[in-house]
Chain A
Amino acid sequence: MNYTLLIYENAAGFALRDHPDESKRRAYWSAWPAYVQALRAAGALVDGAGLEPPHTAVTLRPRDGAPQQVQDGPFADTKEQLGGYFIIDVPDLDAALEWAARVPAAPGSVIEVRPNLKPAAAEAAAAGAQP
């Protein structure tokens, strides 16, 4: 079963990416490939990506009957912002939570674990099968 691990990092977490202290910067960047390798070795890795920091985001908000309004900046006005995600294939929620607890994000980060919808083809077939 596929789950998505959504990794929400705070400003201090994002700052580690180009921290002036090389050892901190290195610790941040070396932890992720090790985690990816562990997922891969367990046969659990489906997909994943890191996102550039929140200030690089552009947000499109709906407007009734008009083109969407495009604004710089991320959508959520929260302290923690999405920094990346992994899609994993594991037997159950407990296994997903175990992987989530091992995400090497900095203290202060929040990991949300959410089941994925079934792949589009299966979903379409299921929808088509309904009366």
Chain B
Amino acid sequence: MKFAILSYETPDNFAARSDQRRDALFGAVFRYIDEMRRAGVFVGGAGLDLPQTATTIRLEEGVRRVQDGPYPDTKEQLGGLFVIDVADEAAAIAWARRCPREPGRVIEVRPLLPPRT
């Protein structure tokens, strides 16, 4: 069963990517990915660039409105996601718990829709 592990990060978490905390931050993420790979649960994922690099398109009836900046307008923003394939929700939460901890970082775990085609 596939789950997404979504990492919501604070402005300070994002700042750590480019200051003296950078190596420790990415090192922890790479070790986490490596652990998931060795356990055979890693499916994929993506690290996202900083929220200020985002562009947002709002779909209205017949109209597409384009704006700079991320959605939503909250303090924490999605920083990246992992997709894992595990037996059940408990196993997914166990992996989410092992995601590197940073002050303020919140992890959401959500099942993926089963493939329909």
Contact = CB atoms under 8 A, between A and B. Distances in A.
Interface in B44-59: 44, 46-49, 51, 53-59
Interface residues of A, number: 55
B70 A78 contact: no
A128 B103 CA distance: 25
Contacts of A97: 55, 57, 66
A113 B96 CA distance: 25
Contacts of B71: 6, 8, 80, 110, 112
A74 B108 contact: yes
Contacts of B23: 127
Interface of B: 2, 4, 6, 8, 22-23, 26, 29-30, 33, 44, 46-49, 51, 53-61, 64, 66, 70-72, 74, 76, 78, 80-81, 83, 89, 93, 96-97, 101-113, 116-117
